[in-house]
């Protein structure tokens, strides 16, 4: 049996371990992918620290995967060896629960998560059900494409389902891994884009990425500037800081939506009055299914979205993870296979 290198987590709160494992078989509807790049997402902490119940260890994390189809199972007829594909957070659906019967795969009751329900992309090879695979446009490199499979599709989907129309004011709070993509997507979608940050440090970058306004909330509250512009139709909250999110509700215009994608665990303090009078709402957005990811990849290629990454070899996955957790990686860390 042929072997591959993989970076696994042996147990909840265990360390990353570089191991040799058998290359997995493409059976049934599984597709085997030779991994070219895998993004390191904050949600990989779920595997590292055992934050979801029932994770089977050892587990190989990684749900921002781009690679090449290497083998297909007998039931995986939609793909063939040599195609470039991506696998994101949404790792497959059951097709039989009520959500799936409605075609709403992302809220599937038995949704699988790549790198949590099964081994993910911190490895030279992985297998995934064919319904979890997105096709990757030729114009998009594997390292740039990887973060789009989670960070990208989450911001892209939240924005395109926000109800904001071209010309509407849309805020993007936080200018890290999610926010730098959010600004570019919002610009490309035709919104009047306001970057919202807590300092002036990223002003130049935000304007270069396409923001029309830059709000430094340590100098002026976001609500003051955005209300002058008529209020935001939507604000994409990417920094997992619930207090900051609360302050953004005031910056929404009538019918405005706070799109919560920065996954924090603290409650967002909000009163019914904050929401009622101007029909405001707070909406979460969970990534996207394979076709959403594919559309995000195509949109990024079409609009020449600049995905800002720091590369690490697979062997340095622990460093990549640690740098990401401690904020040393300003945008996205990506493992590049050799
Ligand atoms: Zn993720
Ligand atoms: Zn389902």
Check which CATH number belongs to the domain holding 294 and give it.
3.90.180.10
The range of the structural domain enclosing residue 234 comes to 153-284
Give the predicted TM-score (pTM) of the model: 0.96
Question: Are 126 and 19 found together in one domain?
Answer: yes
Tell me which of 284, 308, 324 is where a domain ends. 284
Q: Is the pLDDT of residue 314 over 90?
A: yes
- Interval 9-67: pLDDT, tens: 999 999 999 999 999 999 999 999 999 999 999 999 999 999 999 999 999 999 999 99
Average per-residue pLDDT for the chain: 96
Which of 309, 161, 158 lies closest to 238, judged by CA?
Answer: 158
Q: What is the CATH number of the domain that holds 257?
A: 3.40.50.720
Say if residue 183 is in the same domain as residue 246.
yes
Q: Which ligand is nearest to the CA of 289?
A: 2
Do 121 and 142 reside in the same domain of the chain? yes
251 and 330 part of one domain: no
Q: Among 284, 303, 318, which residue terminates a domain?
A: 284
How far apart are the CA of 311 and the centre of ligand 1, in A? 17
Based on the domain organization, do 79 and 35 belong to the same domain?
A: yes
Based on the domain organization, do 65 and 199 belong to the same domain?
no
pLDDT per position as a tens digit, 144-180? 999 999 999 999 999 999 999 999 999 999 999 999 9
Pair (12, 146) in one structural domain: yes
In this structure, the answer to whether residues 16 and 130 fall within a common structural domain is: yes
Q: How far is the CA of 150 from the centre of ligand 2 (A)?
A: 20
Q: Measure 78 CA to ligand 2 centroid, in angstroms.
A: 20
CA distance 144 to 70: 21
Q: Which of 284, 304, 327 is the last residue of a domain?
A: 284
Calculate how far, in angstroms, residue 112's C-alpha sits from the geometric centre of ligand 2. Answer: 9
Q: What is the spatial distance between Cα 321 and Cα 335, in angstroms, rounded to a whole number?
A: 10
* Helix residue ranges, H only, the chain: 45-48, 98-101, 142-145, 151-160, 179-188, 203-209, 222-228, 242-249, 272-276, 290-302, 317-325
Do residues 99 and 197 both lie within one domain? no
Answer yes or no: do 125 and 221 share one domain. Answer: no
Q: What is the pLDDT of residue 329?
A: 84
Residues 6+ apart with CB under 8 A from 218: 198, 199
Residue 332 alpha carbon to ligand 1 centre in Å:
11
The pLDDT-based confidence of 215 (bands split at 50, 70, 90) is very high
Ligand nearest to the CA of 108: 2
**Same structural domain for residues 145 and 203?**
no
Same domain, 212 and 312: no
Q: Which ligand is nearest to the CA of 148?
A: 1
- pLDDT at position 206 is 98
**Number of folded domains in the chain?**
2
Distance 110 CA to ligand 2 centre (A): 5
Q: Which ligand is nearest to the CA of 96?
A: 2
| pLDDT tens readout for residues 84-121 | 999 999 999 999 999 999 999 999 999 999 999 999 99
pLDDT tens track for 281-310: 999 998 999 999 999 999 999 999 999 999
- Distance (angstroms) between ligand 1 centre and the Cα of 151 equals 6
Q: How many CB atoms lie under 10 A from the CB of residue 198?
A: 17
Find the ligand nearest to 324 CA.
1
């Amino acid at each position: 049996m042929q072997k591959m290198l993989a970076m696994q987590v042996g147990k909840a709160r265990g360390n990353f371990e570089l191991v040799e494992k058998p290359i997995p078989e493409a059976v049934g509807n599984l597709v085997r992918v030779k991994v070219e790049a895998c993004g390191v997402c904050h949600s990989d902490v779920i595997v590292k620290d055992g934050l979801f119940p029932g994770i089977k260890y050892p587990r190989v994390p990684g749900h921002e995967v781009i690679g090449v189809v290497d083998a297909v199972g007998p039931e995986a007829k939609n793909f063939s060896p040599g195609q470039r594909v991506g696998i994101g957070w949404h790792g497959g659906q059951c097709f039989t629960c009520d959500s799936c019967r409605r075609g709403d795969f992302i809220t599937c009751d038995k949704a699988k998560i790549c790198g949590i329900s099964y081994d993910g992309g911190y490895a030279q090879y992985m297998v995934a059900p064919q319904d979890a695979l997105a096709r990757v446009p030729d114009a998009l490199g594997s390292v740039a494409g990887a973060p789009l499979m989670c960070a990208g599709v989450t911001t892209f989907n939240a924005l395109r389902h926000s109800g904001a129309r071209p010309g509407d004011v849309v805020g993007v709070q936080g200018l890290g891994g999610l926010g730098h993509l959010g600004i570019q997507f919002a610009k490309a979608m035709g919104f009047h884009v306001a970057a919202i940050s807590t300092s002036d440090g990223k002003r130049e970058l935000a304007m270069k990425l396409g923001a029309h306004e830059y709000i430094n909330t340590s100098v002026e509250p976001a609500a003051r500037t955005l209300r002058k512009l008529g209020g935001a139709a939507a604000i994409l909250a990417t920094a997992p800081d619930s207090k900051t999110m609360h302050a953004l509700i005031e910056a929404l215009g009538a019918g405005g939506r706070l799109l919560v994608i920065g996954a924090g665990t603290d409650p967002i303090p909000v009163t019914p009055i904050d929401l009622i009078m101007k029909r405001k709402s707070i909406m979460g957005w969970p990534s996207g299914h394979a076709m959403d990811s594919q559309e995000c990849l195509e949109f990024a290629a079409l609009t020449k979205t600049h995905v800002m990454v720091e590369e690490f070899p697979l062997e340095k996955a622990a460093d990549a993870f640690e740098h990401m957790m401690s904020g040393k990686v300003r945008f996205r860390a990506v493992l590049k296979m050799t």
